[in-house]
Amino acid sequence: MKLLPRISLLLPALWLCVAVLSGCNEKKGAPLFLESNRKGGEAEAPVKDVPTDILSTQKAFTNVSKKVTPSVVNISTISRKKVIQPFFEANPFFEDFFGAPQTRRDKSLGSGFLISKDGYIVTNNHVVRDAESIQVKLSNDKVYDAKVVGGDQKTDIAVIKISASDLPVVVLGDSDKLEVGQWAIAIGNPFGLDRTMTVGVISATGRSNMGIETYENFIQTDASINPGNSGGPLLNVYGEVIGINTAIVAAGQGIGFAIPVNMAKPIFSQLIQKGSVSRGYMGVTIQPVTEELAQSFGLKQAKGALVNDVLKGGPADKAGIRQGDVITGLNGSEVKDPSHLQRLVAEAGVGKAVRIAIFRDGKALELGITLASADSAPKRTREAPEEGQQSGEADLLGLSVDNSEQGDGVVVVNTIRGGIAAEAGIKRGDVIVSINRKRTATTTEYARAIRQAAKGSSLTVLARRGEASIYFALRIR
Active site (catalytic) residues:
126, 156, 230
**Phi-psi sector, 415: left (phi>0), alpha (psi -120 to 50), beta:** beta
State the DSSP H helix or E strand holding residue 140, giving kind and residue range, or none if neither: none
Count of CB atoms within 10 A of residue 288's CB? 16
Count of CB atoms within 10 A of residue 420's CB? 21
Classify 67 as helix, strand or coil: helix
Spatial distance between the Cα atoms of 236 and 178, rounded to a whole number of angstroms: 9
- CA 362 to chain centroid, in Å, comes to 35
Spatial distance between the Cα atoms of 245 and 189, rounded to a whole number of angstroms: 11
Q: State the number of CA atoms in the 13 A half-sphere of 411 facing the CB.
A: 17
Spatial distance between the Cα atoms of 139 and 449, rounded to a whole number of angstroms: 71
Spatial distance between the Cα atoms of 420 and 26, rounded to a whole number of angstroms: 94
Gyration radius from the chain CA atoms: 34
Angle (nearest 5°) at CA 428 between 427 and 429: 110
What dihedral angle (degrees, nearest 10) is formed by the CA atoms of 151, 156, 159, 162? 110
